[in-house]
């Protein structure tokens, strides 16, 4: 295992914990959203703070960065749109009646999920609500989006049925719902989880949705029919984050020299859990092929890059594993509290923590040792959604309910 070393830079401008970290599509900027109610814009070129977005009346739960505009959502029940260059607030989206904990930007749509049990769709260019999605019996925790052209349809009948945009929502009520964006009507309710749905990831070309839950399982669904395809059951704690990756290789990822295919595409699902592990699965069969250990607390975030699996944990450390062998290659120590989010750009690892700091680490060395494998790998062009800040998600005292085994709903606090 490599030396933990020290961060290249520690950015400590925030006066509260950082709940989310977003990278712009062009890779030039990062955006952090904080408990101090502000967002900050950072240049990836010089790691300096180039913008300070102020206006929210409570803490920021989540943020999303485009090249020219930024979006933040807050416990003040609003979403704000900002000009990246000037820092000016361009729009305030009002309508939710409780904490807005998740936003998603797709096409000309801005989607939001809230503890008020609804999701909403807004016009990106106006302060206008286009649609409200009402039907969950509890908090909406996570979002995903796809359109009919993202899905490889098998019949004209199905093509006609899917000729529009869809929003997918995961909730504390243990369900996943798929909605028609145009009408706001529920297209499918996916039943099977017995705990809150914390994370979703879509592989639209394969017509599949993966969901992770506090019931310790991951479930795979056909997004067209709503059929539950597989249940992944090996975790011993809540499943907090997911990532899907495709590999085109004559040899198999995660399994040493064992070969599953010759030049075929294998899909790998990575899952981070409160049981202190990350697991790698064959997405098509549900077989567990690797477990990444050594975390001393929940795995709150993960990201695959250049043959390396990077993780952030509640033990205040980030880690880098060889994705194939599971061998721990480096530990990144320095944070004081949970790492809520990580990003990787230009061989630099960015870690955002509830201790209020953004730390920047050089990972060029460990990435170089694995780059020869990139020639046979590609990323799944699906759309993923992790849950928001783990610390914030479970520190908010809100009026949610959890489904018991007898089917009744019991009021609980997420603590």
Q: What is the pLDDT of residues 281-320, one digit of tens each?
A: 999 999 999 999 999 999 999 999 999 999 999 999 999 9
Is 80 exceeded by the pLDDT of residue 47? yes
Mean pLDDT computed over 326-342: 97
Q: For 71-85, 227-241, 330-344, 400-414, which range has the lowest pLDDT when averaged over its residues?
A: 400-414
Give the rounded percent of residues in the chain with a pLDDT score beyond 90.
74
Q: Which residue has the higher pLDDT, 388 or 150?
A: 150
CB-based contacts of 167, cutoff 8 Å, min separation 6: 111, 119, 121, 133, 143, 144, 145, 178, 179, 181
| Residue 344, both tokens | 């990787």
Mean pLDDT computed over 92-104: 97
* Whole-number pLDDT of residue 237: 98
| Residue 26, both tokens | 């062009």
* Whole-number pLDDT of residue 264: 58
182-202 pLDDT, tens digit each: 999 999 999 999 999 999 999
Q: How confident is the model at residue 163 (pLDDT cuts 50, 70, 90)?
A: low
The Cα 168–Cα 383 span in angstroms is 11
Q: Which residue has the higher pLDDT, 369 or 234?
A: 234
Instruction: Please provide the average confidence, as pLDDT, over all residues in the chain.
Output: 86
Mean pLDDT computed over 109-121: 98
Q: How confident is the model at residue 381 (pLDDT cuts 50, 70, 90)?
A: very low
* Whole-number pLDDT of residue 349: 97
The DSSP H or E segment spanning 309 is: strand 308-313
Is 50 exceeded by the pLDDT of residue 396? no
* Whole-number pLDDT of residue 415: 30
Beta strands in 24-59 (DSSP E): 29-34, 39-43, 49-53
- Rounded to the nearest 10 degrees, how much is the dihedral formed by the CA atoms of 176, 177, 178, 180? -160
11-46 pLDDT, tens digit each: 999 999 999 999 999 999 999 999 999 999 999 999
Q: How confident is the model at residue 348 (pLDDT cuts 50, 70, 90)?
A: very high
226-262 pLDDT, tens digit each: 999 999 999 999 999 999 998 755 444 455 433 333 3
* Whole-number pLDDT of residue 4: 59
* Whole-number pLDDT of residue 400: 41
């Amino acid at each position: 295992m490599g030396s933990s070393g020290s961060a290249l830079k520690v950015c400590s401008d925030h006066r509260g914990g950082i709940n989310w970290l977003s990278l712009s599509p062009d890779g030039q900027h990062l955006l952090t959203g904080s408990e101090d109610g502000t967002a900050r814009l950072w240049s990836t070129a010089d790691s300096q703070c180039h913008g300070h977005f102020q206006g929210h009346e409570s803490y920021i739960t989540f943020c999303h960065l485009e090249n020219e505009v930024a979006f933040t959502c807050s416990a003040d029940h609003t979403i704000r749109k900002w000009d990246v260059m000037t820092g000016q607030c361009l729009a305030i989206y009002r309508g939710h009646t409780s904490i807005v904990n998740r936003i998603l930007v797709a096409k000309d749509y801005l989607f939001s999920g809230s503890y008020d049990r609804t999701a909403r769709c807004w016009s990106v260019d106006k302060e206008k609500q286009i649609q409200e999605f009402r039907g969950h019996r509890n908090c909406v925790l996570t979002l995903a989006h796809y359109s009919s052209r993202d899905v490889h349809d098998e019949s004209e009948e199905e093509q006609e049925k899917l000729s529009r945009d869809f929003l997918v929502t995961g909730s504390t009520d243990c369900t996943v719902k798929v909605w028609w964006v145009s009408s706001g009507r529920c297209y499918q309710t996916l039943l099977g989880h017995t705990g809150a749905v914390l994370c979703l990831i879509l592989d639209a070309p394969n017509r599949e949705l993966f969901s992770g839950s506090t019931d310790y399982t991951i479930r795979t669904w056909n997004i067209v029919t709503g059929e539950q395809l597989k249940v992944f059951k090996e975790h011993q704690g809540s499943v907090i984050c997911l990532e899907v990756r495709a590999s085109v290789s004559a040899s198999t990822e995660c399994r040493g020299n064992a070969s599953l295919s010759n030049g075929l595409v294998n899909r790998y699902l990575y899952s981070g859990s409160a049981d202190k592990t990350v697991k790698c699965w064959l997405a098509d069969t549900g077989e567990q092929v690797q477990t990444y250990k050594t975390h001393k607390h929940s795995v709150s975030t993960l990201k695959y890059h250049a043959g390396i699996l990077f993780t952030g944990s509640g033990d205040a450390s980030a880690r880098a594993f060889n994705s194939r062998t599971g061998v721990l290659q480096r530990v990144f120590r320095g944070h004081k509290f949970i790492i809520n989010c990580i990003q990787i750009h230009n061989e630099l690892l960015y870690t955002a923590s509830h201790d209020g700091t953004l730390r920047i680490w050089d990972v060029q060395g460990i990435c170089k040792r694995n780059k020869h494998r990139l020639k046979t790998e590609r990323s799944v062009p699906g759309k993923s959604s992790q849950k928001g800040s783990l610390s914030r998600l479970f520190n908010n005292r809100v009026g949610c309910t959890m489904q018991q085994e007898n089917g009744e709903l019991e009021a609980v606090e997420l603590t």
